[in-house]
Amino acid sequence: MSPFFRNFASYFLSGNYRYMNFKLSIEQLASLVNGVIVGDSSAIITGYSKIEEATPGSLTFLANPKYTHYIYSTKATAVLVRKDFEPEKEINTNLIKVDDPYETIARLLNIANSQMPAKQGVESPSFIAPEVEVPQDCYVGAFAYVGKNVKIGKNVKIYPQVYVGDNVTLGDNVVLYPGVKIYHGCKIGNNCIIQGGAVIGADGFGFAPKKDGTYEKIAQIGIVILEDDVEIGANTTIDRATMGATIIKKGVKLDNLIQIAHNVEVGENTVMAAQVGVAGSTKIGKHNMVGGQVGFAGHITVGDNNGFGAQSGIPGNIGDNQRLLGSPPMNVLDAARLYVYQKRLPQMSDDIKALKSAIDEIKKTNN
């Protein structure tokens, strides 16, 4: 990593941007991100801000077109914009043109985050089963529990009050934030991040009705598998399979407060926003984008490359490459038209009543 990036990281991690002696010129910053400068390359960056709240000395970015109007009033010293961006009127800031401003700011912040001092060692009190080997570069926080026959990869971080059940496998670079619970037998791949309060491998919701009206619990003897590069949000729950495995494929990102039921499969690089619910044995393909509070019925199959608008209800099978909204779901454009028609219903009702009255008057006249 270059000295500039190291300084940039140290600066952004300081938490005291305005009072640091560190300074970074726009020219230096542009060289780090392969950007093209429009404006004063010698201007100094001393912090970062959202575009609508920026102050002099700060760096911000413009990625969403609906925020474009702020670029004409922002007080930021520099704004990351797309290479094809051309202002429609005079601006009072400097531009750094890049291929993707959102990806660029994310990369800068990730570099800063990666420079945080790495925790290592085992804090006390904590419990680690005697036969478990903890690599030297790992961290186990206070009050953590690591059960029998657990396999721990390199550079794993187990924060305080984490529970890791017997026979769990943790790949390299796994991070388990405070309060995570991983039940017995589950397998966590490399580079997975599980946020606080998430529960991986609790029993699936399986109960058999009995003649007397009560329910008998069905043993859930499967596991959960998280493949590599998965991130699980805070307080999300992923149930173990009745038999076999509930599988979260490589690159999946799940937001907070999501429920994944038993025997579900979520395909590669699918992303889900908060409060999504997926019922048992549903198979979801790869590269799906799922809005908040979407519900999937059980035992259905969802294809690849779909987008589901917030609060949609998915009762049956879905193919590939669709953009859906509503419950039951429909094409986004059709849903928008339906919404417009629904808003017009009160006026349409009044118009029909008026038309009926006019027809009645005509009938009376003719009679």
Active site residues: 262
In this structure, how many other beta carbons lie within 10 angstroms of the beta carbon of residue 110?
Answer: 11
Q: Would you state the structure tokens that stand for residue 344, as one six-digit string?
A: 């017009």
Cα 97 off chain centre by: 27
**Contact residues for 195 (Cβ-Cβ < 8 A; gap 6+):** 177, 180, 231, 232, 233, 234, 235, 236, 256
Q: Torsion angle of alpha carbons 150, 156, 160, 164, nearest 10°?
A: -20
- The answer to whether the beta carbons of residues 214 and 240 sit under 8 Å apart is no
- For residue 169, what are the β-bridge partners? 151, 187
SS3 string, the chain, reads CCHHHHHHHHHHHCCCHHHCCCCEEHHHHHHHHCCEEECCCCCEECEECCHHHCCCCEEEECCCHHHHHHHHCCCCCEEEEECCCCCCCCCCCEEEEECCHHHHHHHHHHHHHHCCCCCCEECCCCEECCCCCCCCCCEECCCCEECCCCEECCCCEECCCCEECCCCEECCCCEECCCCEECCCCEECCCCEECCCCEEEECCCCEEECCCCCEEECCCCCEEEECCCCEECCCCEEECCCCCEEEECCCCEECCCCEECCCCEECCCCEECCCCEECCCCEECCCCEECCCCEECCCCEECCCCEECCCCEECCCECCCCEEECCCCEEHHHHHHHHHHHHHHHHHHHHHHHHHHHHHHHHHHHC
